Amino acid sequence: MSAEKPYSFFQSVEKSFDKAAKFTKWDNGILEQIKACNSVYRINFPLKRDDGTIEVMEAYRVQHSQHKSPCKGGIRFSDAVNQDEVMALAALMTYKCAIVNVPFGGAKGGIKINPRNYSVYELEKITRRYTSELVKKNFIGPGIDVPAPDYGTGEREMSWIVDTYTSLKPGEIDGAGCVTGKPVTQGGVRGRKEATGLGVFFGVREVCNMPDVMEKLGLPVGVAGKKVVVQGIGNVGYHCAKFFRENGAVVVAIAEHDGAVYNVNGLNEEELIQFRNKTGSIINFPGATTLLNTLDALELECDILIPAALENVINGDNAQKIKAKIIGEAANGPCTPEADDVFIQKGILCVPDMYLNAGGVTVSYFEWLKNLSHVRYGRLEKRFSENMNTHILGQIEELSGKRVSEQEREFILRGADEVDLVHSGLEETMIAATREIMHIWLSNPEIPDMRTAAYVSAINKVATTYVELGIFP
């Protein structure tokens, strides 16, 4: 990674925004309002550690935009957290939600800790205290601001948040909707855990199914047979690897913070995770070559590169060395604006974070709707569909005098479960967003890349909402 950065992460988001704003018709004041972070809440609070010492925690919640309520965005636990990073990530949430038509403003939270250095009990105390600080200032609630998992957090932390919130707000009927990414037993929705990775897969698959785009890249149509490198084997990276592999792609390398493993014939992410659980690291995974410098994995020969960890990993220093034809940004902000310039020059297609990794927040939206409606998806219609399908199939068989196979029967008769509906809602969302952005990009030859087209889409949608709300009379 570059030692000196010419500008901060938030400035790099602003830079990409400005690049796209030129292709819109909005006047400068509206654009400035869209770009600005509306509220920044910085918190310090004490933690009494297991050994009795006191440590001061540094935490943030940033609400970038309230053009739609509530605001939405994850909470990350990482020792790289700072105000600028949280602001940048909150801004990306605004644009991401707009592109995929999820009716939320953007927000993000962060606590500056490396969770590996804290016990589970300490993490619970940190998460609960952070939540109560948000409650005190009205920075959390199903109609105000709804956090979710992000780097370094998951279902466990979301359970602590919902429990703290609901105990501080007894009787609030929609309290479960104060946070998403909860375990299913705590009001979560089936399909949320794999949502970001699955959304990345659906988005990249849609691009790979576009014959004109593939022809320009010199690649055959379709995902099957393509060589994929995944950086990061957290929840997002793991599910990306899984869905690409299950759909016929070959995952040739997987990288983690302490090294990468490579096998030209393909890796199985599940076996790799089992190995890491046993040994504490993915390095020396049997049957694969280990690369001790994890950044080397980004420069491997492959068709699709999926950075699924942190921001700024592909920058002015290493972009020239990238050999992938397609980059699917599963992480938030993995490529810098300098890298984007190199991609344009080298003809690499970068499928941008701000919509490609929107699967997480899309399914969070489904979870929030489930919490507000207090009913599981599919509960009302599953049995009805099964009865109706049985009836239709019976009529067809009677009239045709033929019977379908047992396997087909099972497939046709089945009514949708919650997870089927969530996956199908996600698939539809990602396909529609990919087509919309491609359409914007391809219909204006001046727009240099897909990221700029995605920003154009986001700016138009947010600006339209502001104007329709009468905020700019």
Closest approach, Cβ 70 to ligand GLU, in A, equals 10
Closest approach, Cβ 44 to ligand GLU, in A, equals 23
Nearest position to ligand GLU, beta carbon: 74
Which CB, 253 or 331, lies closer to ligand GLU? Answer: 331
Which CB, 184 or 404, lies closer to ligand GLU? Answer: 184
Which CB, 250 or 330, lies closer to ligand GLU? Answer: 330
Closest approach, Cβ 118 to ligand GLU, in A, equals 20
* Total residues found in the chain within this entry: 473
Closest approach, Cβ 137 to ligand GLU, in A, equals 19
Radius of gyration of the chain (CA): 23
Which CB, 300 or 361, lies closer to ligand GLU? Answer: 361
Is residue 370 a contact partner of residue 408, using CB atoms and an 8 Å limit? Answer: no
- What would the 3-class secondary structure string for the chain be? CCCCCCCCHHHHHHHHHHHHHCCCCCCHHHHHHHHCCCEEEEEEEEEECCCCCEEEEEEEEEECCCCCCCEEEEEEECCCCCHHHHHHHHHHHHHHHHHCCCCCEEEEEEECCCHHHCCHHHHHHHHHHHHHHHHHCCCCECCCEEEEECCCCCHHHHHHHHHHHHHHCCCCCCHHHHCCCCCHHHCCCCCCCCHHHHHHHHHHHHHHCCHHHHHHHCCCCCCCCCEEEEECCCHHHHHHHHHHHHCCCEEEEEEECCEEEECCCCCCHHHHHHHHHHHCCCCCCCCCEEECCHHHHHHCCCCEEEECCCCCCECCCCHHHCCCCEEECCCCCCECHHHHHHHHHHCCEEECHHHHCCHHHHHHHHHHHHHHHCCCCCCCCHHHHHHHHHHHHHHHHHHHCCCCCHHHHHHHHCCCCHHHHHHHHHHHHHHHHHHHHHHHHHCCCCCCCHHHHHHHHHHHHHHHHHHHHCCCC
Which CB, 249 or 350, lies closer to ligand GLU? Answer: 350
Q: Look up residue 457 and give its amino acid.
A: S
Strand order in the sheet with 349-351: 289-291, 259-262, 250-256, 227-231, 304-307, 326-328, 349-351
Closest approach, Cβ 454 to ligand GLU, in A, equals 14
Closest approach, Cβ 290 to ligand GLU, in A, equals 30
Which CB, 201 or 275, lies closer to ligand GLU? Answer: 201
Closest approach, Cβ 192 to ligand GLU, in A, equals 8
Is residue 358 a contact partner of residue 199, using CB atoms and an 8 Å limit? Answer: yes
- Catalytically active residues are 108
Q: Which residues bind ligand GLU (CB under 6 A)?
A: 72-74, 148-150, 180, 332, 357, 360-361, 364
Which CB, 336 or 357, lies closer to ligand GLU? Answer: 357
Which CB, 157 or 269, lies closer to ligand GLU? Answer: 157
Q: Which of 303, 284, 299, 309 is nearest to 231 (CA)?
A: 309
Closest approach, Cβ 359 to ligand GLU, in A, equals 8
